[in-house]
Chains A and B, each alone.
Chain A
Amino acid sequence: MLRDITLGQYYQTESVIHRLDPRVKLLGTILFFISLFCFKNPVGYAIAIIFLAVVIFLSKVPFLFMVRGMKAIIFLMVFTSLVNLFATKGDAVLSFWKITITRQGIIMAITIAVRISLLIIGSSIMTLTTTPNHLTDGMEKGLRFLKVIKVPVHEIAMMMSIALRFIPILLEETDKIMKAQLARGADLESGNVFKRVKAMVPILVPLFISAFRRANDLATAMEARCYHGGDGRTKMKPLKYQKRDAVAYVILAVYLLVSIFLGRLWIFDIM
């Protein structure tokens, strides 16, 4: 029932992108996002789309798999695009009743739609090619410098990896409890809002109990293995930059320079 949720899912396969250091992917994703907000003309977006297409091709993740994650935000995309379409002032192209559509509005709406899609696909490329463990490892190591100002980096990373690890477990648990209550004649789909909220109680109570039970068990298991926080803790597979990571950084830098330079060049302006 709940198997369809693909958010933050990992796609298992062998590819260059999968093997990259998570720090490269994290920084790359952030820089890619920043670049999207720098562009002032369509050339920048075109370069971003080409760059992303190459990355998707290299990652060997089926494109359909990625697009499925976008279903959830289609409403948001359409809504923001429409707001921009009707609310942007400029040269009128079409006008009826009290609504005017401007040339700038059309451009803005398309820009927003493209930008949101690129943001979503860009971030899903990262989560699809990086295991949650790798991701938090990368975060922990990449943000180590924050320790100087007393930010508990290791603890935050540990909490994140536990939380990520628990998402599928709790989804499975929810599925199981839902089925158990359905088997007892529960009706989750009909009735008004109040009735439906009330019907969730027999699912939420056992779910909370099981979440607490699991958290408790995990804490005991960690303590039994002498977990005592990050100080002096070593890794079985420490993160080390490889040659391909250096290459990736260079490619990233080139992409950034070229796309932002061309993306802001006045001769391509269409507004």
Chain B
Amino acid sequence: MSLIVDHISYIYDKDSGLPTVGLKDVSLSIPDGQFIGVIGHTGSGKSTLMQHLNGLIKATEGSIYFNGEDIYDKGYDLKKLRSKVGLVFQYPEHQLFAETVFADVCYGPGNLGLDKKDCELRAYDALRKVGFPEELIFTSPFDLSGGQKRRVAIAGVLAMKPEILILDEPTAGLDPKGRDEILGMIKELQQKEKMTIILVSHSMDDVAEYVDRIVVMNHGSIFLDNSPQVVFSHYKELEEIGLSAPQVTYIMHALSEQGFPVKCDVTTIQEAADEIAACLKNN
């Protein structure tokens, strides 16, 4: 059970006078249960790559294999693929349409041809998983706050019970509290539900705390693909392509340059604090 991206390339407007390269020879293997952060600045191709993973865009070259099957094969059921590889778009609250929150979340499972009762059970379960307050599930989704709307939209994808959940900038436009809540909820989904999570972001600080692996995109190809520790150790190169490492990386490097014997490969604020405390104790 895994998703393998095999040397795909994608060109926008291939037949028109102005072809633009979207992706260039991208290969990726996504094993079960991993929490992956995909980072890149605007226009680096990260959203384009994500739309390939559930077959919304067809690569101009290369293939994608889901559970050992080529998704570009004739007769491959893309609808089923999309229920297994759930994609939550940027600003997903813009896709809400139904009269009630509950009806909106039922839309996805309904499309899978499940009967009404199954849909409702799944919708209820999904809303519970995203921590949506139960007393609001029969209100109009348009009366909710931004953070709540986003939860509903994520629940709308979760209700299809995907094995892989892709989230494109799920924290865009949220305040710090809303951001931490959403990211915490996603981490919980990975740990409790054993879901594979792909989190797209342009901010290292967003993902550093949660992910097992970071894929850095630049100009439509993969620039780095490794554990957060290794990726952040390349912080100088990251700066060259318009990204930056988390703030703690900079602090630790500055400290070590000043002669403090601290390790520089910490990724979270907690780890950094422990490291500094241990260093102070030893001296």
| B94 interface residue per 8 A CB criterion | yes
* B residues in contact with A64, CB < 8 Å: 17
Q: Which of B2-10, B59-67, B106-114 has 4 or more CB atoms under 8 Å from chain A?
A: B106-114
CB pair B13–A206 under 8 Å, yes or no, is no
**Least Cβ distance of B106 to chain A in Å?**
11
Which bucket holds chain A's interface residue count? 20 to 34
* B residues in contact with A206, CB < 8 Å: 94-97
CB pair A179–B51 under 8 Å, yes or no, is yes
Q: Which residues of A179-206 have CB atoms within 8 Å of chain B's CB atoms?
A: 179-187, 201-202, 205-206
Which residue in chain A gives the minimum CB-CB distance to B160?
A185
Given the interface pairs A176-B89, A205-B97, the reply to whether A182 lies near B56 with Cβ below 8 Å is yes
- Most B CB atoms within 10 A — which of A11, A64, A181? A181
CB pair A187–B111 under 8 Å, yes or no, is yes
CB pair B157–A184 under 8 Å, yes or no, is yes
CB pair B160–A184 under 8 Å, yes or no, is yes
* A residues in contact with B54, CB < 8 Å: 183
Q: Mark A5-25, 1 if CB is under 8 A from B, else 0.
A: 000000100000000000000
CB pair A183–B86 under 8 Å, yes or no, is yes
CB pair A210–B94 under 8 Å, yes or no, is yes
| A209 interface residue per 8 A CB criterion | yes
* A residues in contact with B79, CB < 8 Å: 185, 187
* A residues in contact with B16, CB < 8 Å: 65
A218 to B88, CA, bound (A): 27
CB pair A182–B82 under 8 Å, yes or no, is yes
| B92 interface residue per 8 A CB criterion | yes
| B252 interface residue per 8 A CB criterion | no
CB pair B156–A3 under 8 Å, yes or no, is no
Q: List A residues at the B interface (Cβ < 8 Å).
A: 3, 11, 62, 64-65, 176-177, 179-187, 201-202, 205-206, 209-210
User: Which 10 residue pairs across A and B have the least CB separation, nearest first?
Assistant: A185-B111, A205-B97, A180-B95, A184-B108, A183-B87, A202-B97, A180-B89, A179-B56, A206-B97, A185-B79
